[in-house]
Amino acid sequence: MAAADDLKFQEFDDAANLLAANPGATTISIDEPVQIPKNQRSRLQEPGREEDDELLGTDDSDKTELLAGQKKSAPFWTFDYYQTFFDVDTYQVLDRIKGSVFPVPGKNFVRLYIRSNPDLYGPFWICATLVFTIAVSGNLSNFFIHLGKPTYHYVPEFRKVSIAATTIYAYAWLVPLALWGFLMWRNSKVMNIVSYSFLEIVCVYGYSLFVYIPTAMLWIIPERVVRWVLMMFSLCLSGSVLVMTFWPAVRDDNRRIALATVGTIILLHALLSVGCLAYFFDAPEVDFPAPIIPAHNGTTVITKSVNKVTMPVSPSVQ
């Protein structure tokens, strides 16, 4: 039979008094997580990591990591699994497009806009639009360049649509695959703090191609200088999105490998745009081989005007 005293509610002193009474006792403190102010947090780390915090957006990355763990639980042979990749609203897609066209220096596209919700809608339809835009614009620009020439007969050039489709879809899906494989391999050797999933890389590449759509439409203008200026401008914009995304992922690695990786990314991007410009858009001011009229004294006179810049006849070389 317990004593009546034991059954009475006993007041416990607060922790300080108890500890003073029995200094050897083990204590466990369960507190609210202390919010270290941001400047203090970055002071605790190396100074070089400050931009990483901004790039990572660590303010709510904890929440997004939790959310990422709760998504995508359906097995991959069900329709619901693929529906998780299309879980975007109109304003989200428009925001991501805006982020790729106006890259904010220092902000990581993936962390800022994708936030563990990569979608396949953007990459797929931006690539489709780009394919048809390049084919249609190329056709239109060739039409306007050769308009008025007597030997010219308009052709729709439908074959080029399939070539454009193959090129752009291969670029937008195979290059991310290779890059993801490469990053995974380097991750196993060097511990990186930033690593991307395959879908996030596909997302970045897909949205970075958006700026080429208005560029392709403006490439109809048949001036060589204008076209090259446009190309450099769009290459800078989309290249900067890619560089700012992937530089934190390779920065911890060997310096040369990091620079080589980023250099390869930019080089492939430039190859794509130069190749599209060269193949689908004829060089402006191409002079057809003019009939040569032999003059009286044997000198030849070329009937076409020579004050234009004469280009080589083969249309595939700028």
Residues of this chain that interact with other proteins (CB under 8 A) are 79, 82-83, 85-86, 88-91, 93, 121, 125, 128-129, 132, 136, 139, 153-159
**Closer residue to other proteins, CB minimum distance, 17 or 83:** 83
* Shortest Å, Cβ 219 to other proteins: 17
**Closer residue to other proteins, CB minimum distance, 147 or 301:** 147
**Closer residue to other proteins, CB minimum distance, 143 or 198:** 143
Do residues 234 and 212 make contact, with C-beta atoms less than 8 angstroms apart?
yes
**Closer residue to other proteins, CB minimum distance, 120 or 259:** 120
**Residue 29: C-alpha distances to residues 11, 32, 33 (Å):** 19, 10, 11
* Listed residue (238, 232, 210) closest to 277, CA to CA: 232
Cα separation, 71 vs 179, in Å, equals 24
Q: How many CB atoms are closer than 10 A to CB 71? A: 12
Three-class SS state of 189? helix
* Shortest Å, Cβ 128 to other proteins: 7
Q: H or E element: which one contains 95?
A: helix 90-101
**Closer residue to other proteins, CB minimum distance, 92 or 264:** 92
Do residues 110 and 203 make contact, with C-beta atoms less than 8 angstroms apart?
yes
Q: Residue 68 region, left (φ>0) first, then alpha (ψ -120 to 50), else beta?
A: alpha
* Shortest Å, Cβ 156 to other proteins: 4
Cα separation, 167 vs 184, in Å, equals 25
**Closer residue to other proteins, CB minimum distance, 97 or 221:** 97
Task: Give the amino acid at 186.
Answer: R
